A and B are shown apart, each in its own frame.
Chain A
């Protein structure tokens, strides 16, 4: 007997079987969902990276306080990347008797490689600019005000006379909250000629590149291996703490959605395979009785399965490509800024993942088929239970965890999902067992129709357990996507309400506090918040001068030598949480300090240590009395170091203010800045926009994925309900012959499905809430997320109702089964 031919013949006969069709559909859907989501995720990620690249002015780069070796630029050129070289340094600019310390960027003409440099020309027109030509310099508004200059005037920087070409309105990398000095942009050639980049000057040299993703990746890999010891890599992911968190969350959302779709499909495949195995048992018993060896039976099942699966996998991959292509086109407005063709790799990877899903979830029940005893031909119940095959049921768990890990690239997300879904399965099975046992006790006293339905559920015990568990898993995944994910996104969005402060002002003097407040009120500024700000340097730790302290790396030492911003507050500021020690008492005997835990860790500072600061000419020593955790995503002004107000009040200080001003107020704000020329105004709208942009994009992408998941969920429901359809039909025909009315059959089915739905719905609601809270805290960095319990409760009830209605709809065919069929079967 040619196994291949027999397998294909079997397939031709069986491909119409509902369970094989469900299996194929689940497989197709899983591959399409995984492929489309992966392509879409790649696209969203590319768009997000592009967005972040705009913030740093390039795709990647390197920065060092020593000139970069020529090999770096050579490697970038070898990879055909566009290169921008720039250096930043402080320098004093002069206009006659006026002078101002500037934060200067000297760059070649390619600046910026990504994003736009907004300039205002002499007439005040806003134009997109490039790095200035030799002999010219661009200054920001503060510099112009401080030096009493306008565009077209001449200014002296580093001993060279330069013409002011334009006013800097916005730089691509202007998202840093604290750029204390006014900004200047000059040509790299001028800076080199003026000797501004010589040894001894505080210069940061930077080389940025832009180009194809593959080349940039290769360049980054090369940089990691060949960078000078203290040089710092610049990548979009590493650049901004706030953006990095947004990236992480965005990625987690997309991965979670794709994974859940795939796992749902896995459950549908497992259910279908089990139903198919039950149907095939008689046939296999016959084949075994006719002398087919186990190996041949195994080969036959495998050929049939693969014969059906391979076209489904192929079709799924093609569908994934088609869908991604459609999504690509439709979402062009949503995901601008990325070029390139449709990547084929995700669809191929999805097809391979689909094959793993098929083998992982379908193999356990099908492998048992080869163990069907030939004697089962005579007695259907005569089945051997091969204990060794029990281990096969670990396979779906392993495949699920493997897939989760592969898809998410994160052990944590994979682990949480696997543990949560396993928990849901166990709870559903336990709850179902408990209820079934309860039913056995309570059913005799119930209404006859109800009793019949409940009894049916209790009697098909194993099947009911499988159904309840599968439904619970399916509903958990659906609730996670339909209720938890949007709630998480809302919670994330709520971190950045529309009136999040978008402007900051530094350097407000004591006597300017009231007039500045009044002026800002008049402009319509909201959420105005003022904080004292003293600028100093860390002088000693526990009495040891900083110069003698051994720091763990050079970056920490550099940091220790930089200016330090100190503030004080009587109460713990919002977005801060105390993690150790106690907050300042009202009137402490000696100065106290509260330190951000990351800073404390980096500098090896513990509670009770003393920190010495040099502020102006004075030295100020404070004891560390508390450690704080700071939410850096909050877009509030936060400080590594806070001092107790009772002592710090006397320190020389200025004020810093933050407020929200609706867009379109730039001219009024420019006038305000002219009135208070000493103030440094910082615009964080660009950064806020980026983060909001990421949230919007992720929300849209998740909505796309949700469509797949809903389909996969519907398949699970259908497969779960169909798994008992044959028994149900036989039972209904017999009951009909014995005189059951259709109302009795319907009521029985309704009771049965409602109970199944209730078990599944309740477990799923609890499971989704717990998983949601866990993912929020551990993966999304949203620790105070509270799952929307009332919505989940309603959704659970709706699920129970949905399962009941779906079940009843399925029963219509069962009710229509002629009782005569029973007689015909003998």
Chain B
């Protein structure tokens, strides 16, 4: 019998900041376990700590207490360089504001993660990824020449192009109208299924959250339904 190592786990994670008015607890007592291939939605009101949690889970920041394991690696034992290397290898991102580099064409934006890995076939693979999101005709376009929906589809192509095992999506439809948002969400889940990627999704959108296998709610920095999956 083999024991399946969860793709992502957090144990008693807390995050506090010391500001001019003293210590502020942003997150406390967070326990999460996300199995490989699972999809989890984190919902909560503005200021509940969703983005902070996402940042901690992705290794962009370190918790004040507790521990996080990403594919078995304890993030708190790794320095920023090692965490970056882990992200490069395992993680993809989709942001609310797309975060495409304005000076790069759609194709060049998608090539970025591959270039970081030193992939020699970056251009071909990026073109294929754009094809997969239906934008192969827009390879040479700059972000400002694309609509919001198109920009987010480029961002999706960039997120999946290096076949990450874990995808973090932060309000991926937050800046889009309902119809376009639905299209992008459809594409996101489709790619997720096709690549068998583990998905951690932060959203306000109940309908989007409902498409995930599990939903966790953050209220004032604590998970309301924090039972391990």
Contact = CB atoms under 8 A, between A and B. Distances in A.
A818 B61 contact: yes
A380 B91 CA distance: 29
Interface of B: 51, 54-55, 58, 60-61, 80-81, 84-89, 91, 93, 95-97, 99, 101-104, 108, 112-113, 115-118, 120, 122-123, 142-145, 170-171, 174-175
Contacts of A380: 102, 144
Nearest to A381: B144
Given A738-B87, A738-B88, A822 B116 contact: no
Interface in A791-826: 818-820, 822-826
A734 B102 CA distance: 12
A736 B84 contact: yes
B115 A739 contact: no
A737 B80 contact: no
Contacts of A452: 115-116
Contacts of A820: 55, 60-61
Contacts of A14: none
A460 interface: yes
A738 B113 contact: yes
Main secondary structure on A side of the interface with B: helix
9 contacts: A448-B116, A452-B115, A455-B115, A459-B104, A735-B116, A739-B85, A741-B88, A742-B81, A743-B81
A731 interface: yes
A436 B86 CA distance: 32
Interface string A370-394: 0000000001111000000000000
A740 interface: yes
Given A380-B144, A444-B123, A823 B85 contact: no
B103 A381 contact: no
B90 to A, nearest CB: 9
B52 to A, nearest CB: 8
Contacts of B116: 448, 452, 735, 738-740, 744
B118 A448 contact: yes
B171 A731 contact: no
B74 to A, nearest CB: 18
Given A737-B93, A819-B60, A826 B84 contact: no
Interface in A719-742: 727, 730-731, 734-742
Nearest to B108: A459
A826 B89 contact: no
Select the residue from A382, A452, A739, A818 with max chain B CB neighbours within 10 A.
A739
Given A455-B115, A823-B170, A739 B88 contact: yes
B219 to A, nearest CB: 20
Contacts of A818: 60-61
Contacts of B122: 444
Interface in A355-410: 379-382
A423 to B, nearest CB: 29
Contacts of A463: 103
Given A379-B144, A737-B60, A818-B60, A823 B55 contact: yes
Interface of A: 379-382, 444, 448, 451-452, 455, 459-461, 463, 727, 730-731, 734-744, 818-820, 822-826
Contacts of B55: 820, 823
Given A448-B116, A826-B95, A741 B87 contact: no
A734 B120 CA distance: 21
A696 to B, nearest CB: 53
Given A455-B115, A734-B99, A820-B60, A741 B91 contact: no
Contact of B108 (A455, A727, A736, A819): A455
B9 to A, nearest CB: 20
B103 A739 contact: no
Contacts of B96: 826
A822 B101 CA distance: 12
Contacts of A448: 115-118
A704 B102 CA distance: 45
Contacts of A461: 103
Contacts of B112: 734-735, 738
Nearest to B171: A826
Given A731-B101, A820-B61, A823-B60, A451 B115 contact: yes
A820 B51 CA distance: 9
Given A459-B101, A824-B51, A825-B97, 14 more contacts: A379-B144, A380-B144, A461-B103, A738-B87, A738-B112, A738-B116, A739-B85, A739-B87, A740-B116, A742-B80, A819-B60, A820-B61, A823-B51, A823-B60
B144 A727 contact: no
A740 B61 contact: no
Contact of A459 (B97, B103, B123): B103
Nearest to B88: A739
For the complex of A and B, 8 pairs with smallest distance between CB atoms: A381-B144, A739-B88, A448-B118, A739-B87, A826-B97, A826-B96, A820-B55, A820-B60
Contact of A381 (B93, B95, B113, B145): B145
A379 B61 CA distance: 32
Contacts of A459: 101, 103-104, 108
A447 B94 CA distance: 28
A457 to B, nearest CB: 10
Contacts of A451: 115
Contact of A739 (B51, B86, B108, B171): B86
A822 to B, nearest CB: 6
A744 B96 CA distance: 26
A739 B84 CA distance: 4
A147 B110 CA distance: 103
A740 B101 contact: no
Contacts of A744: 116
Contacts of A455: 108, 115
A793 B213 CA distance: 66
Contact of B84 (A381, A730, A740): A740
B117 to A, nearest CB: 8
B51 A734 contact: no
A734 B101 contact: yes
A818 B91 CA distance: 17
Nearest to B101: A731
Contacts of A737: 58, 60, 87, 93
Contacts of A382: 144
- Most chain B CB atoms below 10 A, which of A452, A736, A820: A820
A460 B108 CA distance: 12
Contacts of A738: 87-88, 93, 112-113, 116
A727 B99 CA distance: 12
Contacts of A743: 81
Nearest to A731: B101
A102 B93 CA distance: 102
A422 to B, nearest CB: 28
B118 A823 contact: no
A823 B58 CA distance: 11
Given A448-B115, A737-B60, A823-B55, A730 B101 contact: yes
A743 B116 CA distance: 11
A823 B101 contact: no
A744 B117 CA distance: 10
B96 to A, nearest CB: 4
Nearest to A460: B103
A643 to B, nearest CB: 75
Contacts of B143: 381
A739 B101 contact: no
Nearest to B98: A826
Contacts of A381: 102, 142-145
Given A735-B112, A736-B84, A739-B89, A822 B99 contact: yes
Nearest to B97: A826
A463 B61 CA distance: 32
B113 to A, nearest CB: 5
A739 B91 contact: yes
A737 B58 CA distance: 9
A741 B103 contact: no
A267 B170 CA distance: 42
B91 A826 contact: no
B57 to A, nearest CB: 11
